[in-house]
Structure 1
Amino acid sequence: MKLIKLMVMSCFLVTSFISAQNKDITLEDIWSKGTFRTERLDALHSMNNGKQYSVLNFDRASGSTTVDVYDYSTLKKTKTLVNSTDLTDVKYFTDYSFSKDESKILLATEQESIFRRSTLGIYFVYDIASKTLTKVSEDKIQEPTFSPDGSKIAFGLNNNLFIKDLNSGATSQFTSDGVKNKIINGITDWVYEEEFGFVRAFDWNANGTKIAFIRFDETNVPEFSMDVYGNKLYQTQTVFKYPKAGEANSEVSLHVFDLASKSLTEVKVDKEYKDFYIPRIKWTNNANVLSAQFANRHQNELDLWMINTTKNLTKLVVAENDKAYVDVTDNLTFLEDDSFIWTSEKDGYNHIYHYDKNGKLINQITKGNWEVTSYYGYDAKTDRIFYQSVENGSINRDVYAIKLDGRKKQRLSENTGTNNADFSADFSYFINTYSSVNTPPLYTLNDAKKGDVIKVIKDNSDVRTVVAGFNMPKKEFSTINVNGNNLNMWLIKPTNFDATKQYPLFMYQYSGPGSQQVANQWNSANDYWYYMLAEQGYIVACVDGRGTGFKGAEFKKVTQNELGKYEVEDQIEAAKLLGARDYINPDKIGIWGWSYGGFMSSNALFKGNDTFSMAIAVAPVTSWRFYDSIYTERYMTTPQENASGYDENSPINHVDKLKGDFLLIHGTGDDNVHVQNTMRMVEALIQANKQFEWMIYPDKNHGIYGGNTRLHLYTKMTNFINRTLGQ
């Protein structure tokens, strides 16, 4: 008995000693040293055989890149398909893609960003068998894409579309009216790229005989300009078309180019649309039939059309409508008989549906008061659909399989937390990425039949060891009843928390429609900042209020036409409820956020001036009149129709209510939320004779990063928090 007690005491002393030696997190650990960086699994391409995958590898020593092939079953490299050291014209490449038959590889070099998703680059085609290299164009081009047989490449250049024949080497141009800031063929304009999330607006048909594309006429779209200060004597200027809410959008039209006849035809559907969007196009398995999604400007109607491009016949096969808005789906999948998979939240939750090729509903595949969050695909051999959902709680994600007829649902992931799957081409394997608040990213190879783990690929055990060496408080998940709703919340207390003391409260949120910040997953960089603040004597909390996602359409869409009303009410009420707890000082409550979260934190400080004593707003929207048409009008309609919704909930109109401390931060190169938002807010605060602090980051975009920028930004915010909320 004495021996056991002695052992227990020894363990306690060792634990106490280790704990005493633990280090405090610093901003340099988070933003400079990469102390908590996790190992990631490089993006992989599943090979056609379903038994192997390829990965882009970079050798730091030689500065070379390779495309290497690995076996799923052994995870060992079997061969190298291409090595840049063997290529005379390519020192290294930064991305790659295969032709459909995997006989050729498209290599990207000299890539440069345009906006968030768009890039320009010099591209080469590598023929694996002959080991020959072909340059696609002497110019930097956009979105080069193989034809189905791999004999041609279509690409965008200077707002026009081209085809390079890889056999003859000839390049032909099949649109000629492209002009910067006027006409764009086959590449999306700024607002489509940002809000509909795609850049390549052209698509090859099944046999490579036709190319469909969207044409953007942005002639009447107002221009926005940004000064670029750089390091030269005179600044330059970036000018681009940006439709703000209520302003003119690009006029879009749908066209098909026939390679054989070299004819260009505009395609029109059998419905009169005024001021509409074409957010997706996709060919069916039938080389003559194109699908296109059309949405009205309010985005509360979404139509799926099937277009016979030979017979000029169009058929409306799915027509979705909603009192608020209908989300565009990326999950449209055509089965062998051209029946198709479609996802929709028409029953109140996002679920998977199966339609025949004429649009007749065959069945609803998934059902329940929970959301499908990712659709992975359909395996014809086993007749199974694979997907991810929040069936195991809205803060968790699991991987499932289900029969096409909706029977025999099977959970394939085991651990509670966030699971995501990357399936092999034949759906025999998947690589599962799992993490939770207590578990760093764990990558495993799994059998798709039952979900059994075959091998551990990466477990990030080194990160676990590193984290154990720091004073690391716990993130506690719970719910809080706010304004009649049970809202998801996490809370972080100092490791030496004393319930008899009172602590300042610092709240974080984003709050945008369909978003989520309270999720059971491993730490982001910001989480370590919150842990650092907690160790410095703060309670840090995050509450996902009404309007956030994964709890059904009704919960998400309650904010329609009044962005910033219910979300702000929930943050203010949550702060009051937390402030009533014995261990929180109700006189020292702060809030912060970025982008939509900056819009929210500004509003919370102004409208909740008896609750919040400070706020930080980074890159905030200060009036929805300044933001883009597609995003804003999806939730607010136009300012001409809903002036009160815009103005009553925009913080720029409530600056007179400011009582507490306010820090406003923005980058001047923000093409998304323009620095105009902050400049107009600053002027309003000045005219209201309100004191505040602000920080401008020259030429930095919406992410405000590069060099020491993030370290400087978070040092600025930390100092402000300590000065305004500190004990």
Structure 2
Amino acid sequence: MKFTKHLLILCIFATFLTSAQNQEISLEDIWSGTFRTEGMDALHSMKNGQQYSVLNFDRVAGSTSIDVYDYKTLKKVNTLINSNEIEPITYFTDYTFSDNESQILLATDVEQIFRRSSLGKYYIFDTKTKQVTIVAEEKIQEPTFSPDGTKIAYGYSNNLFVKDLSSGKTTQITFDGEKNKIINGITDWVYEEEFGFVRAFEWNADSNKIAFIRFDETNVPEFSMDVYGSALYPTQDVFKYPKAGEANAIVSLHLYNLKTDKASEVKVKKAYKDFYIPRIKWTNNPDVLSAHYLNRHQNELDLWLIDAEKNTSQLVLEERDKAYVDVTDNLTFLEDNSFIWTSEKDGYNHIYHYSKDGELINQITKGNWEVTSYYGYDEKHDKIFFQSTEIGSINRDVYSIKLNGRNKERLTNSEGNNRASFSADFSYFINSFSSASTPPEYTLNDAKSGDLIKVIKDNDKLSKKLLDYKMSKKEFSTIQINGNDLNMWMVKPADFDASKEYPLFMFQYSGPGSQSVSNTWNSANDYWYQYLAQKGYIVACVDGRGTGFKGADFKKVTQNELGKYEVEDQIDAAKQLGKLPYIDASRIGIWGWSYGGFMSSNALFKGNDVFSMAIAVAPVTSWRFYDSVYTERYMTTPQENASGYDDNSPINHVDGLEGDFLLIHGTGDDNVHVQNTMRMVEALVQANKQFEWMIYPDKNHGIYGGNTRLHLYTKMSDFIDDTLGDKRDVSEDNKVEKVKIKG
């Protein structure tokens, strides 16, 4: 059944590639939601393993509901809550169940702080009494049920609080929290951005202890951003931001005992100097906590087990790497407190099984491919479920395997990107599938065999809508550059004529471990590339050395020299593509955002004989300006590696600018500060280099809001037309035919 459906979609796609599509994609189409896909929001498998809940939005009524569906029939069996039927909530945007599912935490009036952090008003809905209780009158952070559902812990004003849900009493458990000085239980800016988490506290299984990380930011340098707003005078946003080589927050691990109402600091036996604690997690023993300790260079990761009652600690695992060790969320403790762990120590990311004392029992997965997601372990059937690149680095498939590493089974069969969400008892999984030719579809599958049970949701309406548009196929291939077969995609005009010459516009990101060439459905940028293709451009993307999912050596070759090998690969790829008979080698451009903007700047300055233009959006222009955790992971500190920082910084290569350059940044970018662009501008001015630039007031690293994205992509599209478009008059006498670019 699945094969038939995908075959049908492929046929539809092939049909609209060859049929006479007349409608052209506009920038307004892209940014107005014309090509929006349908999805499943906030999917949660119910504890019984036979049902799941989703968050449904009724845009007409302006309400939200949590609806429960049966896995077998896919029919809705219950609406747990509808915001139209309760007071005082009119709308909520997320929900979390207590462990026994008798209570639901509802998020309302949420406002973003940084990329992952937010403040909000939270309410508890009792599924039996239908009563709603507010957690706190103030906007709070990261409210979390205790495992027994009797309490909620949360952060407020840099301190931690615990609310008893029976009595309604709230207890403050830390008291030294202060803005830009001390944070308890909530991560600082750099942990949130680079270690990918906000809640830095954890309940134990017995609901009587809370472990939390304390951040002392006192000595971390401050960064300030002007906020222009709409008032007569601008204000400033001041926050702690450790740049490479500067002081980090001093972190410490603490335990709060609810029985004694006391907090104590945890100190492990090893003497660490300048370290990180990027993860904490309780084991199945309610008195034993695990903690990751990572040195500042991030090439030594230690896993410690801490006995909260005996006040002892045990080092159970040491990960070492010449470059760096990745931090993941894949640590899983089994019933006997042995644990599952992922590591790149054999050259590829794989799954390992260790005893509770850290002795290696066995390596579970092996091969020249990467485990990309770990889904969990079904102890009843002795099966681990995971996602990997075994069928190709641009694809993803779901697998199961025994704990002993035997009986591996591929559970998904469609080539593209498969991502699973398992039922609580691992009897079913909902597979989210897409490819470059198939928009996202959600299917119910049997976890034992992977067999399709039913289609839950698809995007066939979007597929049919696209039949009316001029669309080009995204062609995947590899290109051999500097001894490596690099993944590449290319989009050509729908009316491509190999006898003509076309300008080439390249996109890349290129950051360590990233991937831009993947067999997945269109993002908004993909529709922009279609827009450019219909105007007569060829668009291409090459994942060079340093990108991910092709082994540790390929990924870590850029260590200590960010911007060297990646830039060489983009320049050499452009040279090779420029030799194709249908590419006009005199009109090759490149663009990128963030790390990609760092790359596109360098590519233009260092490859001025290849690239005639570049666009850099929110670029890093010197790694000296970027944060400590990310930058030092790949570069160590500027004090140790000055040449690595400076030899490949675009601001030090502005003399090489000969083509056209567009520089874009938002002034409210808390991540890659606009300082990067200002220093680049000054360097260009002093080198007497002409360029164009665009500043978006108060916009963050994403540069969005209102018409901002439409304006941004209009600006870039016009710049591409002005610099790569063939506006030359070609006489009949010279017999050279050039494709005309629509301006």
TM-score grouping bracket, smaller chain normalisation: over 0.9
Contact 1:667–1:702 (8 Å) recurs in 2: yes
Task: Note the C-alpha offset of 1:17.
Answer: 13
Check whether the contact 1:329–1:344 (CA below 8 A) recurs between aligned residues.
no
Could you say which residue in structure 1 is the equivalent of 2:331? 332
| Contact 2:16 2:467 (C-alpha < 8 Å) held by counterparts | no
Instruction: For 1:25, give the aligned amino acid.
Output: I
Deviation of 1:16 (Å): 11
Q: Which residue of 2 aligns with 1:28?
A: 28
1:248-287 pair list within 5 angstroms = 248-287=247-286
In structure 2, relative to structure 1, the CA distance for the partners of 1:266 and 1:17 (3 Å cut) is closer
Q: Is the 8 A contact 2:87 2:132 kept in 1?
A: no
Q: Normalising by the residue count of structure 2, what TM-score does the alignment of the two structures yield?
A: 0.95
Check the 8 A contact 1:435/1:522 in 2, yes or no: yes
Give 1:190-209 correspondences, 5 Å limit: 190-209=189-208
Query: For residues 543-578 of structure 1, what are the alpha-carbon distances to aligned partners after superposition, in whole Å with 9 as ceiling and x for unaligned?
Result: 000000000000000000000000000000000000
Matched position secondary structure for 2:440: strand
1:553 aligned residue: 552
Distance (whole Å) between structure 1 residues aligned to residue 29 and residue 65 of structure 2: 32
Contact 2:205–2:282 (Cα < 8 Å) also in 1: yes
- On the 8 A contact 1:19/1:471 being kept in 2, the answer is no
Measured in 2, the distance between the counterparts of 1:434 and 1:321 equals: 35
Match of 1:490 in 2: 489
**Could you report, residue by residue, the CA deviation over 1:329-372 in whole angstroms, capped at 9, with x for unpaired residues?**
21001111111110000100000001111101111100000000
Q: What's the CA shift for 1:43?
A: 2.3
Structure 2 SS opposite 1:338: coil
SS of the residue 2:202 aligns to: strand
Residue 308 to residue 18, structure 1, CA distance change in 2 (3 Å): closer
How many angstroms apart in 2 are the aligned matches of 1:458 and 1:126? Answer: 29
What pairs with 1:597-616 in structure 2 (closer than 5 Å)? 597-616=596-615
Aligned counterpart, 1:96: 95
Equivalent residue, structure 2, for 1:4: none
Distance 2:331 2:420 in 1: 19
Whole-Å separation in 1 of the counterparts to 2:603 and 2:580: 20
Q: AA paired with 1:608?
A: G
Does structure 1 retain, via aligned residues, the 8 Å contact 2:21–2:470?
Answer: no
Contact residue 564 and residue 603 of structure 1 kept, 8 A: yes
Tell me the residue number matched to 2:64.
65
**Alignment partners' CA distance in 1, 2:497 and 2:58:** 50
Structure 1 counterpart of 2:507: 508
Give 1:24's aligned amino acid.
E
1:187 to partner: Cα distance: 0.2
CA distance in 1, matches of 2:58, 2:30: 26
**Which amino acid in structure 1 is aligned with residue 263 of structure 2?**
L
Distance 2:25 2:551 in 1: 38
Q: Distance in 2 between matches of 1:721 and 1:17?
A: 25
**Contact kept? 1:244, 1:627, Cα under 8 Å:** yes
Residues of 2 paired with 1:443 and 1:469: CA distance?
A: 24
- Please list the CA deviations of residues 215-234 of structure 1 after superposition, one character each: whole Å capped at 9, or x if unmatched: 00000000001111111111
Aligned to 1:588: 587
What letter matches 1:317 in structure 2?
V
Question: Quick one: which amino acid aligns to residue 388 of structure 1?
Answer: Q
Instruction: Indicate if the aligned counterparts of 2:17 and 2:471 stay in contact, CA closer than 8 A.
Output: no
Give yes or no for contact 2:45–2:51 (8 Å, CA) kept in 1.
yes
Deviations 1:221-252 (A, max 9, x none): 00001111111111111100000000000000
**2:289 maps to what in 1?**
290
**Kept in 1: contact 2:431–2:443 (CA 8 A):** yes
Offset, 1:21:
5.0
1:528 corresponds in structure 2 to 527
Name the structure 1 match of 2:224.
225
Name the residue aligned to 2:355: 356
State the alpha-carbon separation in 1 of the partners of residues 17 and 404 from structure 2: 59
How far has the Cα of 1:379 moved from its partner? 0.4
Per the alignment, do residues 114 and 16 of structure 1 end up closer, same or farther by CA in structure 2, a change over 3 Å counting? closer
Match in the other structure for 1:173: 172
State the alpha-carbon separation in 2 of the partners of residues 474 and 68 from structure 1.
38
Give me the whole-angstrom Cα distance separating, in 1, the residues matched to 2:679 and 2:352.
46
Residues 592 and 16 of structure 1: CA distance in aligned 2, closer, same or farther (over 3 Å): closer
Quick one: distance in 2 between partners of 1:506 and 1:17? 22
Query: Percent identity among equivalent residues?
Result: 76
Q: Is the 8 A contact 2:508 2:543 kept in 1?
A: yes
Match of 1:438 in 2: 437
Contact 1:494 1:538 in 2 (8 A): yes
1:86 corresponds in structure 2 to: 85
8 Å contact kept, 1:302–1:319: yes
Which of structure 1's runs of 4+ aligned residues deviate more than 6 A?
Answer: 15-18
What amino acid does structure 1 have at the position aligned with 2:699? K
**Mapped contact 1:277–1:294 kept (Cα < 8 A):** yes
2:390 maps to 391
Moved more, 516-525 or 550-559: 516-525
Offset at residue 60 of structure 1 (A): 2.2
Any idea what the Cα deviations from partners look like across 1:471-501, whole Å, max 9, x if unmatched?
1111111100001111000111112111111
1:132 deviation in Å?
1.5
- SS of 1:311's equivalent in the other structure is coil
Q: How does 1:638-653 map to 2 (within 5 A)?
A: 638-653=637-652
Q: Which amino acid aligns with 1:703?
A: G
Q: For residues 17 and 283 of structure 1, what CA distance do their matches in structure 2 show?
A: 53
Return the alpha-carbon distance in structure 2 between the equivalents of residues 412 and 262 of structure 1: 49
Structure 2 runs not aligned, ≥5 long: 1-14, 727-743
Q: CA deviation at 1:42?
A: 1.8
* 1:375 partnered with 2:370: no
Cα 1:572/1:21, change in 2 over 3 Å? closer
- CA root-mean-square deviation: 1.1
**Counterpart secondary structure, 1:282:** strand
Give CA-to-partner distance per residue, 1:504-559, whole Å, 9 cap, x none.
11000000000001101111111111111112111111000000000000000000
Contact kept in structure 1, 2:668 and 2:699, CA below 8 Å: yes
Q: Is the 8 A contact 2:668 2:698 kept in 1?
A: yes
Cα pair distance change 1:584/1:18, threshold 3 Å: closer
Q: Which residue of 2 aligns with 1:113?
A: 112
Q: Structure 1 residues 23 and 61 mapped into 2: Cα distance closer, same or farther (>3 Å)?
A: closer
2:679 is paired with a residue whose SS is helix
After superposition, the C-alpha distances for 1:68-96 in whole angstroms (9 at most, x for unaligned) are 11111111111111222232211121111
Q: TM-score, normalised by structure 1?
A: 0.97
Compared with structure 1, are the counterparts of its residues 603 and 21 closer, same or farther at alpha carbon in structure 2 (3 Å cutoff)?
closer
Tell me if the contact between 1:329 and 1:342 (Cα under 8 Å) persists in the aligned partners: no
Q: Which stretch of structure 1 is more off in the superposition, 556-565 or 462-471?
A: 462-471
Equivalent position SS for 1:305:
strand
